[in-house]
């Protein structure tokens, strides 16, 4: 064997510990929505702690568009070397196949599951001046006036889109559905009173509710959220059928080396066990109780069941026509 080929053969045969240890450089964490939304909030909190464990920064890149499917496609097609991962969610890795016939990825087959980062209860919220004193009145008002109302969401297939499509169909409402590149910008317009209501994941809403900038009418859970003990459940408000919650989870492109995946899952689980990180997430209403889904196997099962669930639900709810643009 020629000396250069011999050296190459020896290098390739080296056990992993003989090569530079992963990660040697910062890791890009794709958030498939605009900054300031729940996916972005969870990604930044969890990513900060994981970066400390991994000894490399986790750099969030917001790649918004098409209800999260633009960024998710980018992640699916990234080089599977452990340096690009994505914070997906119940929309990108659950509902999307039911609403996009031409989806360029498969939530299960195009990714390696790393683990769930947070369960995210759904709230029904409205602009501060919304003329309803409680959830019952809110539902009656929306039913009676829906054609004059604007409902904000983060794009077809997103969590806000999917859960509010479900809500609207339950009460027979047909508002104008206003699309944003994430619920961060949608929330800004809700605070400014430019849109009327939305259904969204709790984690970016809690500070605005506590500050009195928006109104929270109900949480779509069987019990109240410890982060917002004054907000009743949809069941208490007379709409028990509207119970739904979402989740955020980390995925890597299919083919990412097992050593990298092991480190990423380990760092995620360590972050979710860290007291400071847990407190930040719990204070925002995240649910960290599903420890099974914090494993790759548990997350894979969740993805399969969510794809099946939303396929069924979305067949029966409102049409997914692309709606109006945000008011200027």
Residues in 253-312 that interact with ligand MLT by CB under 6 A: none
* N-to-C CA span, the chain: 70
* 184 sits near ligand MLT (criterion: CB under 6 A): yes
Which residue in the block uniquely carries the two structure tokens 């806000």? 160
* 62 sits near ligand MLT (criterion: CB under 6 A): no
- The nearer residue to ligand MLT, 35 or 78, going by C-beta atoms, is 35
- The nearer residue to ligand MLT, 22 or 217, going by C-beta atoms, is 217
- What one-character DSSP code corresponds to residue 52? H
**Which tokens in the block code for residue 167?**
């809500």
Which residue in the block uniquely carries the two structure tokens 């054609």? 147
* 232 sits near ligand MLT (criterion: CB under 6 A): no
CA 182, 187, 189, 193 dihedral sign is: positive
- The nearer residue to ligand MLT, 22 or 251, going by C-beta atoms, is 251
Task: Tell me the closest approach of the beta carbon of residue 257 to ligand MLT, in angstroms.
Answer: 29
* 183 sits near ligand MLT (criterion: CB under 6 A): yes
Task: Tell me the closest approach of the beta carbon of residue 200 to ligand MLT, in angstroms.
Answer: 5
Say if residues 285 and 210 touch (Cβ distance below 8 Å): no
Task: Tell me the closest approach of the beta carbon of residue 228 to ligand MLT, in angstroms.
Answer: 17
Measured distance CA(79)–CA(256) in Å, rounded: 8
Task: Tell me the closest approach of the beta carbon of residue 91 to ligand MLT, in angstroms.
Answer: 5
Strands 150-153 and 214-219 come out as: unpaired
Q: Which stretch binds ligand MLT (CB under 6 A): 54-62, 179-187, 212-220, 259-267?
A: 179-187
* 182 sits near ligand MLT (criterion: CB under 6 A): yes
Task: Tell me the closest approach of the beta carbon of residue 173 to ligand MLT, in angstroms.
Answer: 18
Cβ contacts of 63 within 8 Å, gap of 6 or more: 30, 31, 32, 70, 71, 74
Q: Counting runs of H as helices and runs of E as strands, what totals does the chain give?
A: 11, 9
Length of the chain, in residues: 328
Which residue in the block uniquely carries the two structure tokens 């099974």? 292
Residues in 81-110 that interact with ligand MLT by CB under 6 A: 91
* 323 sits near ligand MLT (criterion: CB under 6 A): no
Task: Tell me the closest approach of the beta carbon of residue 87 to ligand MLT, in angstroms.
Answer: 9
Chain residues binding ligand MLT by CB under 6 A are: 33, 37-40, 68, 91, 154, 158-160, 182-184, 200-201
């Amino acid at each position: 064997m020629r000396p250069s080929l011999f050296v190459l053969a020896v290098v390739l045969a080296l056990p992993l510990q003989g090569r530079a240890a992963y990660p040697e450089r910062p890791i890009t964490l794709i958030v498939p929505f605009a900054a300031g939304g729940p996916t972005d909030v969870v990604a930044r909190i969890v990513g900060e702690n994981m970066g400390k464990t991994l000894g490399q920064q986790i750099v969030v890149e917001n790649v918004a568009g098409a209800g999260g499917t633009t960024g998710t496609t980018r992640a699916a097609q990234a080089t599977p070397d452990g340096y690009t991962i994505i914070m997906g969610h119940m929309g990108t890795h659950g509902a999307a196949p039911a609403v996009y016939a031409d989806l360029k990825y498969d939530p299960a087959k195009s990714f390696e599951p790393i683990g769930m980062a947070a369960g995210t209860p759904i709230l029904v919220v409205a602009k501060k001046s919304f003329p309803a004193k409680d959830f019952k009145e809110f539902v009656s008002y929306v039913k009676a006036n829906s054609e004059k109302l604007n409902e904000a969401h983060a794009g077809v297939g997103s969590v806000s889109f999917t859960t509010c499509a479900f809500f609207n169909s339950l009460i027979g409402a047909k508002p104008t559905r206003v699309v944003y590149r994430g619920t961060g910008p949608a929330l800004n317009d809700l605070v400014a009173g430019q849109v009327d209501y939305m259904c969204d994941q709790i984690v970016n809403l809690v500070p605005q509710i506590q500050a009195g900038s928006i109104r929270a009418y109900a949480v779509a859970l069987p019990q109240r959220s410890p982060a917002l003990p004054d907000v009743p459940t949809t069941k208490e408000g007379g709409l028990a059928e509207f119970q739904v919650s979402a989740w955020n989870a980390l995925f890597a492109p299919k083919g990412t080396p097992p050593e990298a995946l092991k480190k990423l899952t380990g760092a995620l689980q360590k972050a979710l066990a860290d007291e400071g990180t847990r407190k930040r997430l719990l204070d925002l209403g995240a649910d960290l109780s599903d420890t099974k889904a914090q494993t790759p196997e548990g997350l894979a099962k969740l993805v399969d069941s969510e794809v099946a669930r939303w396929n069924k639900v979305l067949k029966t709810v409102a049409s997914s026509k692309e709606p109006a643009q945000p008011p200027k």
